[in-house]
Amino acid sequence: MMAISAMATGCADHSIPKAQLPELDTSNPLLTEWSTPHGTAPFSQIEPAHYEPAFDAAIACSRAEIDAIVNNPKKPTFVNTIVALERQGELLGRISGLFFNLLEADATDEMQAIAQRVQPKLTQLSNDISLNPELFARVKAVYEHPGRRLSVEDKKLLENTYKSFARNGAALSDDDKELYRQYTTELSALTLQFGQNSLAATNAFTLHITDPAQVAELPAFVKETLAADAKARGQKGWTVTLQAPSYVPFLTYSSNRALKEQLWRASNSRALGGEFDNTEVIRKIVDTRLKIANLLGYETYADYVLENRMAENTPTVQNFLQELLTATKSYADADYKRVNDYAATLGFKGALMPWDWAYYSQKYKDAHYSLNDELIKPYLQLENVKKGVFLLANKLYGLNFTPNPDIEVYHPDVTAYDVTDAEGRFMAVLYLDFFPRATKRAGAWMTEFRGAKRVDGKETRPLVSLVMNFTKPTETEPSLLTFDELETFLHEFGHALHGMLGEGSYESLTGTSVYRDFVELPSQIMENWATEKEFLDLWAVHYKTGEPIPAEIVERIVAAQNYLAAYANVRQLSFGMTDMAWHTLTKPFEGNVAAFEQQAMAPTQVLPVVEGTAMSPAFTHIFAGGYAAGYYGYKWAEVLEADAFSLFKEKGIFNPEVSGSFRENVLSKGGTEHPMELYVRFRGHKPETKALIDKMHLGE
């Protein structure tokens, strides 16, 4: 998953009379110039109390910049209107980039309270810009009569700017504009509340174990992780949390069904009732989104969203999801039966429940592929994995990564790197933040404190951050990753490459600023290298002995790569279909959240349904992130990457011509052109679902 923010300094339009600009408090580090390496944030100087006054000053600065554009006596032009709009708000972008990224990665109660107060102000500013009739008139005038020969990049900026106004209410009547303001303000507060409830619900549950017999069967790395969690909480024994590095291994290796059921139910009923209930928040979110869509002339919120996506419309997405489901559902059911039958040979009676699945599917994998986390993890020491990922970026794109201790970080777990290319050109700063903590939300994501751009010949390079929740080191062992965590690292690093290799004049068009269903191509294609022996042999060594990962283990990994592929595919389709169900509603939602979700997931159901659970109340991707009516994009991108990686397989996984073409036509271009044009330029043809289906080797 990725998220995007920006970072810059000062008011963009220095021609504005000083009297019209807000007076900035130079004692506030957020409002001063930073004499730091590459203009990075001086985190140690910034306190939570600095944010709100800085936001207020930056909002005032942005308003002055907008007023200057509106009141410009000269005829509207591409430069004085469209480019000026792109450049305005730099100070606000810098502050927002810092604040909202830290709100995800290192949030405190104070930061969350500030967010609740600041968000309405930001929404009001956004609405005041998009609903300003004089400003829209200038944008429309340039859109209809550009008055000069524009580059491809300029044309895309003009098109995006005009569409942004039109899609954000600029053409509405005055009465409807007021409704739009009301709805968007409510929606921004609701999505913020949803995310905060989800985080609080995740942190609220722990399973504390004091009986050694209940953890005796667990692998040493799991016991040490749980013991470390307990110790950090001032407890004796072992503590299981709902964070993935704790939750997943316990379900995978414990045979204690009662404890696993308790844990699974807790995870799958997060924010479903109770103190941090999100069910009413969901109802309000989907209803408010529907109101916004209807106000703008769309029947559903999905229709509104998908107009600006590679897929382009709702029928295309629904047909796409159904096509993949039809091709794989019977194989997913067969996957379930295969594991269930195997469990029966071990004495299990009845149907496997969801909390049994990880344990018995792992047992099957152990028996048939002789493969498990304990076998692989010693070869995936985090430091070695990091070297391997950096090496891959070097072999494909000539990038080098050098730790820079002079760059301040926001938490002791974080490390900052200077990124340079083969010619020594500075490309980016990369922050790496690996381990879970109570102040960090679950999952893994890439984000930016600042994007790439060129202004008056001066280039600004991006500040990119990767935030993950990997297995922590213990008192006796370094951080050893699971194979899934290796894939996650490669995935998020693909997003980072998209950001670091971005080129262009306009920050809103560079890096990961692309259609949401295209943005996962650079990330998902990177996962393919996780099972390439030629790549693993370069760095994957046993952390104690230094022995390279044996060829037979790599062969087993490859053999097991498509184990339960159909099941995993259908599980992802269930999320995409649930997302589309919520966002193709045509009437206000008055039903039961769990029942609605159950109905939406019914065509994809493989494991037994468990009453009293639902994933929607913690589905932050669609209710607190940017994936509303867009979760299908993960599968869409899988089709793209399966087809794209086949070219690497054909020409060589480190082939410089293929990687050079991918960099030139995909990674560097960002959103400067339509993604289908970029993809076809790289691959030579449009993608088809057959590439993904073939990759799964169904029935073999």
DSSP secondary structure string for all residues of 566-624: HHHHHHHHHHHHHHHHHHT--S---S-HHHHHHHHHGGG--SPP-TT--SGGG-HHHHT
Output the furthest CA–CA distance in the chain (Å, rounded).
Answer: 83
Mean pLDDT of 633-639: 93
pLDDT in tens, 165-181: 999 999 999 999 999 99
CATH topology of domain 377-549: Neurolysin; domain 3 (1.10.1370)
Provide the whole-model pTM: 0.86
d(CA 24, CA 30): 10
Secondary structure letter of residue 666 according to DSSP = I
The string of pLDDT tens digits covering residues 215-243 is: 999 999 899 999 999 999 999 999 999 99
Given a cut of 50, whether residue 636 has pLDDT beyond it is: yes
Mean pLDDT of 564-576: 97
Unique residue bearing structure tokens 């291994």: 249
pLDDT, one tens digit per residue, over 96-132 is 999 999 999 998 999 999 999 999 999 999 999 999 9
Q: If you count them, how many residues does the chain have?
A: 700
Q: What is the pLDDT of residues 427-485, one digit of tens each?
A: 999 999 999 998 998 889 999 999 999 999 999 999 999 999 998 898 889 999 999 99
pLDDT band at 19 (very low <50, low <70, confident <90, very high): low
**Helix H or strand E encompassing 625:** none
* Res 2: pLDDT: 43
The pLDDT tens digits for 42-53 are 999 999 999 999
Class of domain 18-130+132-171: mainly alpha
| Mean pLDDT within 56-72 | 95
| Catalytic residue chosen out of the listed positions 90, 477, 492, 503 | 492
Backbone angles phi, psi at 88, to 5 degrees: -65, 160
Residue 404 has pLDDT above 90, yes or no: yes
* pLDDT higher than 50, residue 15: yes
Mean pLDDT within 597-605: 98
Quote the pLDDT of residue 562.
Answer: 87
Nearest alpha carbon to residue 451 among 494, 504, 488, 398: 504
Measured distance CA(380)–CA(369) in Å, rounded: 19
Name the CATH topology of 200-204+271-350+562-700: Neurolysin; domain 3 (1.10.1370)
pLDDT of residue 5: 35
How far apart, in whole angstroms, are the C-alpha atoms of residue 596 and residue 592? 6
Please provide the average confidence, as pLDDT, over all residues in the chain. 94
**Model confidence at 1, in pLDDT bands (50, 70, 90)?**
low
Each domain of the chain, given as residue ranges in start order, spans 18-130+132-171, 200-204+271-350+562-700, 206-262, 377-549
Closest CA to 199 of 465, 435, 437: 437
Q: Is 492 annotated as catalytic?
A: yes
The pLDDT of residue 6: 34
Predicted pLDDT of residue 8 = 38
Q: Specify the pLDDT at position 118.
A: 96
- The mean pLDDT of 392-399, rounded to a whole number, is 98
Residue 7 has pLDDT above 50, yes or no: no
Beta-ladder partners of 446: 2, 466
337 vs 558, which has greater pLDDT?
A: 337
> What pLDDT, on a 0 to 100 scale, did the predictor assign at position 102?
96
Give buried/exposed letters for 369-397 (b at 16+ CB in 10 A, else e): bebbbebbbbbbbbebbbebbbebbebbb
Q: List the one residue out of 191, 73, 65 whose CA is nearest residue 123.
A: 191
Same topology, domains 18-130+132-171 and 200-204+271-350+562-700? Answer is yes
Q: What average pLDDT does range 409-419 have in this prediction?
A: 97
Helices 483-500 and 382-397 sit at what angle, rounded to 10 degrees? 40
pLDDT for 3 beyond 70? no
| Model confidence at 420: pLDDT above 70 | yes
Residue 201, classed as helix, strand or coil, is helix
pLDDT for 688 equals 83
| pLDDT > 90 fraction of the chain, expressed in percent and rounded | 89
Spatial neighbors of 354 by CB under 8 A, at least 6 apart, are 264, 268, 607, 608, 610
